[in-house]
Chains A and B, each alone.
Chain A
Amino acid sequence: MIEEQFSIGDSFVHNLDPRVKIIVAIIFSVVVAVSSNFSALLPALVVAVLLILLAKLPVGKVFYRLLLVNGLILFLWFFIPFTFRGDTLFTVGPLVGTKQGVLYASQITLKSNTILLAMIALLATIPISTLGHAMRQLHVPDKVVHLFLFTYRYIHVIFQEYQRLVNAMKMRGFIPKTNIHTYKSYAYLMGILLVRSYDRAERIHKAMLCRGFTGKYYTLSRFSVRTGDLVYLTVMLAAILGLVMLQWRVTI
């Protein structure tokens, strides 16, 4: 259930320096998030799709992922066309859908999916542990990086523990229903997860101290910026600059 679906692969994007990918992903997302002009948003979507293709990710899986995370967007589509004031475009019973509303909803949909695609292409293609080290090199506070790496490590352990406990509950004939018994059982499940994880954390910490942990993480992986990375960074920054100019109608 918890797996890094897109992080393993051998493509130009997978082999890029993770720091370059993080920087590009952040700048690209921010620019798209504050854009509102269709003449900038459509090219941005094209760029994002190109990034996915360049990463040679399985299109079906990427598409499925997009469907899953478009829930809120779909929900908004039921409202925005009707709550937005503007020129009438269509009517459903007593409700009036406006042109401005539909345009606004399309704009949000476009922005959301463009950023998602870029995130899948750029961030989801970095293994989490590499991401942690890259974050540290980008001067994210050490404590945050440690917390991030530890949390990722324990998600798997705790999820396994959770599955073990749920299996045990099923063996005893537990069937979740809408009643107090069910909620109580889930609450006790949470409780025992917390207690066990607390004990585990104590053991981990002692074990780490025994091995001489001083609050520093050492890594053998060295990042190096190669020509490919520089070319990629330049091209992407130029593309993003182009989007900015399209959005704010700047002409040279």
Chain B
Amino acid sequence: MHISEGVMSAPVLITGAALAAAGISVGLKKMDSDKIPEVAVLSSVFFVASLIHVPIGPSSVHLIINGINGLLLGWLCFPSILVALTLQAILFQFGGITVLGVNTVNMALPGVICYYLFGRLVSRERRIVSLVAAFSCGFFAVLFSGILVALSLVFTEESFMPVAKLIVLAHMPVMIIEGIITLFCVAFLKRVKPELLGGIYGKGS
């Protein structure tokens, strides 16, 4: 869901950069130097996930997992996604310098929102509550990202409206898959390493 270089207008680019800078500075404040290796390892999982393609019908989509990223990292997901996107821009030229701010916000803000909406619910004892919250976390993170991408396009140029709508619609299956994957992933983590889900990275210290 990257927006390429050269598509956005200046006001959108500037707004994106400013919002990203704000989010990143909050994230950096909450991130102890001690935690850098842990956040880095999670950022690289996030990077690698974008290379994993899961089948859907005759086609395939790559994982986004910004929901899981937000769930585990809270505000730290801003710096985490920033470095992952920077690396993608330099290694694969997906995204780029001028759109880095917009792309970071489009991916990280939904993560943070889902952290606040579902973070507590996910770690509840009752299995059904926790699983529904996990599914919603994956689902809504992608939905919000799609909406943010669509908004960035529409604010650039009104006639992007049909494209923007189509992008959100086309992400419907991705939302469902991300929801399912987040659900099973959370169920797995609860059994294997529940302390990861407590938002231990997100709390700061």
Please list the residues of chain A having a beta carbon within 8 angstroms of any beta carbon in chain B: 1-4, 25-26, 29-30, 32-34, 65, 68-70, 72-73, 75-76, 79-80, 83-85, 101, 104, 108-116, 119-120, 123-124, 128, 131, 141, 143-144, 146-148, 150-155, 157-159, 162, 176-178, 180, 182-184, 186-195, 197-198, 200-202, 204-205, 208, 215
How many A-B residue pairs lie within 8 Å, measured between CB atoms?
A: 237
Contact A119 B97 (CB under 8 A): yes
Chain A nearest CB: distance from B96 CB in Å? 6
Question: Chain A contacts of B28 at CB under 8 A?
Answer: 141, 143-144
Question: Chain A contacts of B183 at CB under 8 A?
Answer: 187
CB of B91 closer than 8 Å to a CB of A: yes
Number of residues from B at the complex interface, CB < 8 A: 74
Question: Chain A contacts of B188 at CB under 8 A?
Answer: 187-188, 191-192
Chain A nearest CB: distance from B132 CB in Å? 16
Question: Chain A contacts of B36 at CB under 8 A?
Answer: 143, 146-147, 150
Contact B55 A182 (CB under 8 A): yes
Please list the residues of chain B having a beta carbon within 8 angstroms of any beta carbon in chain A: 2-10, 13, 24, 28, 31, 33-34, 36-45, 47-49, 51-52, 54-57, 63, 65, 68, 72, 79-80, 82-84, 86-87, 89-94, 96-99, 157, 159-163, 166, 177, 180-185, 188-189, 192-193, 196
Question: Chain B contacts of A114 at CB under 8 A?
Answer: 6
When chains A and B are docked, how far (Å) is the Cα of A124 from the Cα of B3?
Answer: 19
Contact B97 A143 (CB under 8 A): no
Question: Chain A contacts of B49 at CB under 8 A?
Answer: 190
| CB < 8 Å neighbour of A201 from B2, B41, B90, B162 | B41
A29-B97, A84-B159, A115-B98 in contact; A73/B4 too (CB < 8 A)? Answer: yes
Interface of B: prevailing SS:
helix
Contact A151 B83 (CB under 8 A): yes
